[in-house]
Amino acid sequence: MSYDSDVIVLGAGLVGSAIAYGLLRQGLTVTVIDEGDIAFRASRGNFGLVWVQGKGWGYSQYAHWTMSSAELWPELAADLRDETGVDVELRQDGGFHFCLNEQELSERADRLAWLQHEIGPSYQFEMLDQAALKEKLPGVGAQVTGASYTPMDGHVNPLKLFHALHQACNDRGARRHVNSHIDQVHYADGRYTVRSSQGVCTASRLILAAGLGNKDLAREVGLHAPIVPNQGQVLIGERVAPFLTHPTIFVRQTGEGSIQIGDSMEECGLDDTTRTDVLAGIARRAIVCFPQLADLNVVRTWAALRIMSPDGFPIYQESPTHPGAFLATCHSGVTLAAAHAFRLAPWIAGQPMPEGLDAFSGDRFLDPKREFHHGH
Ligand SMILES: Cc1cc2nc3c(=O)[nH]c(=O)nc-3n(C[C@H](O)[C@H](O)[C@H](O)COP(=O)(O)OP(=O)(O)OC[C@H]3O[C@@H](n4cnc5c(N)ncnc54)[C@H](O)[C@@H]3O)c2cc1C
């Protein structure tokens, strides 16, 4: 069978699905091809934060991009609810970043001051000492030195988000080809051809949104994506009575009362198995933050792989050699879902590039004079 559409999106994780949704809203026909449940999928193992504070320190274009996504999030949540009936449980009335010693707290204050200087007064934050924090979050432990608070942060139910995006794409007529691992892309006469398990797909535009798969696929269309897996382990605690009104960087309580505790960061290749020592460290830190968690029963644990570039910032680029081929990858696909649907997709569909997006070209990693440090 042969399938023709305006765009082929390779990868149906949160990034590919948000872009596909945005492209469908632009009136384009879309085929989404995905490897399926055997794949590594950050989208089903994350922490669910829509997080702005601290993001883009030393790289203000990323701070702007993240802010813009947080601002668009209420619209995304409302549209997904109206279109699919799925409530992704967006709660966006501020979040806390805990600091466990004085040095962390003072570095945090410097970082957020730098970001506010770059972004302007809309970048609001408060630094809280132990007493001020305790007033806002009474359950906080005595060993927490303080925290930063910003009103623009929030959280969602990430699995409902994943489901709602898939549902919205289906409802808008996306063709979905699953269980198809793609390792070759053909380009001739302005058209891309990809062979999936369901047939041959053709389109004049191709989006590589295949998470860790983008590294190899990028080479097929003259792009460069030197991404690596970065493992994060997470614990889920039983449902308990509401005690945590806002998300924090290490602990959040879902609408149903479950406690999500995260997360580690470790480069250990394509390994998505949990380790007791890592989980124990995460649990210990959570108990420092909220001593009442010492009695919590853990019901589930998992590890998932982030998609990390050498500087930790996203890669968005159209191929210089293959017109109409784009690559999109990032390590904050929940936070950035709204920017992907409402700002990135229109650009891919032919509108002008959003301001500042040229800072995210993968070619930055080819510059031998640039040094890369992990930022977030
Ligand atoms: C522990 C943890 C906590 C996190 N917490 C947060 C958070 O709080 N907030 C936040 O914003 N982000 C968070 N993230 C990051 C977020 O989950 C990811 O940025 C996002 O899920 C990436 O989505 P993706 O679509 O790029 O990749 P993936 O979810 O990995 O999806 C890629 C898809 O591409 C498909 N694919 C791959 N290769 C091929 C191929 N060759 N052919 C066909 N299909 C292919 C796969 O089947 C897969 O479905 C976290 C991640 C982890 C691991």
Q: What is the pLDDT of residues 125-154, one digit of tens each?
A: 999 999 999 999 999 999 999 999 999 999
Q: How far is the CA of 46 from the centre of ligand 1 (A)?
A: 8
Residue 98: the pLDDT is 97
Closest residue CA from atom 35 of ligand 1: 11
Per-residue confidence at 21, pLDDT binned at 50, 70, 90? very high
Give the pLDDT band of residue 375 (cuts 50, 70, 90): low
Report the candidate in 315, 303, 296 with the shortest Cα–Cα distance to residue 267: 303
Ligand 1 touching residue 307 (CB < 6 A) = yes
Distance CA 313, CA 205 (A): 24
Give 154's strand partners: 50
The mean pLDDT of 164-173, rounded to a whole number, is 98
Residue with tokens 């934060």: 49
- Which letter does DSSP use for residue 258 in this model? -
What is the C-alpha end-to-end distance of the chain, expressed in Å? 44
CA distances from 247 to 59, 87, 95, 133, 164 (A): 25, 18, 5, 13, 22
Average pLDDT value over all residues in the chain: 95
| Ligand 1 in reach of 261 Cβ (< 6 A) | no
The pLDDT of residue 288 is 97
pLDDT band at 325 (very low <50, low <70, confident <90, very high): very high
Residue pair 341/88 in contact by the 8 Å Cβ criterion = no
Distance from the alpha carbon of residue 328 to the mean position of ligand 1, in angstroms? 11
Ligand 1 atom 47: the closest Cα is on which residue? 35
Stretch among 68-77, 232-241, 364-373 having the lowest mean pLDDT: 364-373
Measured in angstroms, how far is the CA atom of residue 329 from the centroid of ligand 1?
9
308 in contact with ligand 1, CB cutoff 6 A:
no
User: Measuring from atom 13 of ligand 1, which residue has the nearest CA?
Assistant: 332
What is d(CA 155, CA 42) in angstroms, rounded to the nearest whole number?
16
Give the model confidence (pLDDT) of 265-274 as tens digits. Answer: 999 999 999 9
Q: What pLDDT does 272 receive?
A: 93
Mean pLDDT, range 184-202, rounded to an integer = 95
CA of 41 to the centre of ligand 1 (A): 5
**Is the shortest distance between the CB of 314 and ligand 1 below 6 Å?**
no
pTM: 0.97
Q: Using a 6 Å cutoff on CB, does residue 35 contact ligand 1?
A: yes
- Residue (of 41, 34, 347, 20) closest to 169 by Cα position: 20
Q: Is the CB of 330 under 6 A from ligand 1?
A: yes
232 pLDDT more than 90: yes
Q: Distance between CA atoms of 134 and 121, rounded to whole angstroms?
A: 26
CA–CA distance, 218 with 185 (Å, rounded to integer): 10
Q: Which helix (H) or strand (E) holds 214?
A: helix 214-220
- Whether residue 371 has pLDDT greater than 80: no
What share of the chain has pLDDT > 70, as a percent? 99
Task: Give the model's pLDDT for residue 320.
Answer: 96
**Three-state SS for 16?**
helix
Closest ligand 1 atom to 210 CA:
34
User: Which of 31, 41, 335 is the pocket-test mutation for ligand 1 (most atoms within 8 Å of CB)?
Assistant: 41
Atom of ligand 1 nearest to the CA of 336: 11
Q: What is the pLDDT of residues 5-18, one digit of tens each?
A: 999 999 999 999 99
Is 153's C-beta closer than 6 angstroms to any atom of ligand 1?
no
* Ligand 1 atom 51, closest CA: 46
Domains and CATH numbers, the chain: 2-49+159-227+311-366 (3.50.50.60), 95-151 (no CATH), 228-308 (3.30.9.10)
Residue 306 Cα to ligand 1 middle (Å)? 6
Task: Decide: 306 in ligand 1 pocket, CB within 6 A.
Answer: yes
Answer whether residue 317 shows pLDDT above 70. yes
Query: What does the alpha-carbon distance between residue 212 and residue 98 come to, in Å, rounded to a whole number?
Result: 30
How many Å lie between the centroid of ligand 1 and the Cα of residue 317? 18
Establish whether residue 181 lines the binding site of ligand 1, counting it when its CB lies within 6 angstroms of any ligand atom.
yes
- Confidence band of 368 (pLDDT split at 50, 70, 90): confident
Q: Give the list of residues 6+ apart from residue 296 with CB closer than 8 angstroms, or none.
A: 237, 238, 240, 259
DSSP 8-state assignment for residue 229? E
How far apart (Å, rounded) are the C-alpha atoms in residues 183 and 221? Answer: 12
Residue 40 has pLDDT above 90, yes or no: no
Tell me the pLDDT tens digit for each residue of 41-95: 888 899 999 999 999 999 999 999 999 999 999 999 999 999 999 999 999 999 9
pLDDT in tens, 195-214: 998 899 999 999 999 999 99
Q: How far is the CA of 281 from the centre of ligand 1 (A)?
A: 24
